[in-house]
Amino acid sequence: SQQGEEDPQALSIQEGENATMNCSYKTSINNLQWYRQNSGRGLVHLILIRSNEREKHSGRLRVTLDTSKKSSSLLITASRAADTASYFCATDGGSYIPTFGRGTSLIVHP
């Protein structure tokens, strides 16, 4: 079963704005990962955050994790048209093998 669920399903913003996506999951995890997928292509790993971490940064990406609420968020600051893609969270449900949600489709208008 799909462990993580992203919200919103779709997000449309203007270039330069920030984009925030959320992920909720059901059971305890060892880590949570975020991936990006450009249309029909393979997923690209963005960030992995462990269950004992609360926040992680990578360039314009900021990920937070709240294990008490079983939720995570991905913030993309100063978005660019090239950020247009689908974003997926993946949780391991304690098994170390990630399962993916349905994704958030982000469109950044130039």
Instruction: Give the footprint of another protein on this chain (CB under 8 A).
Output: 1-2, 30-31, 33, 35, 40-48, 50, 88, 90, 92, 96-103
The nearer residue to another protein, 40 or 110, going by C-beta atoms, is 40
Nearer to another protein, 50 or 57 (CB): 50
SS3 state of residue 83: helix
CB of 37 to another protein, least distance (A): 8
Minimum Å gap between C-beta 24 and another protein is 14
> Which of residues 15 and 24 has its CB atom nearest to another protein in the complex?
24
Shortest CB 16 distance to another protein, Å: 28
Contact, 10 vs 103, CB < 8 A? no
CA pair distance 80, 60, nearest whole angstrom: 10
Which residues fall within 8 angstroms of residue 1, CB to CB, at 6 or more apart?
99
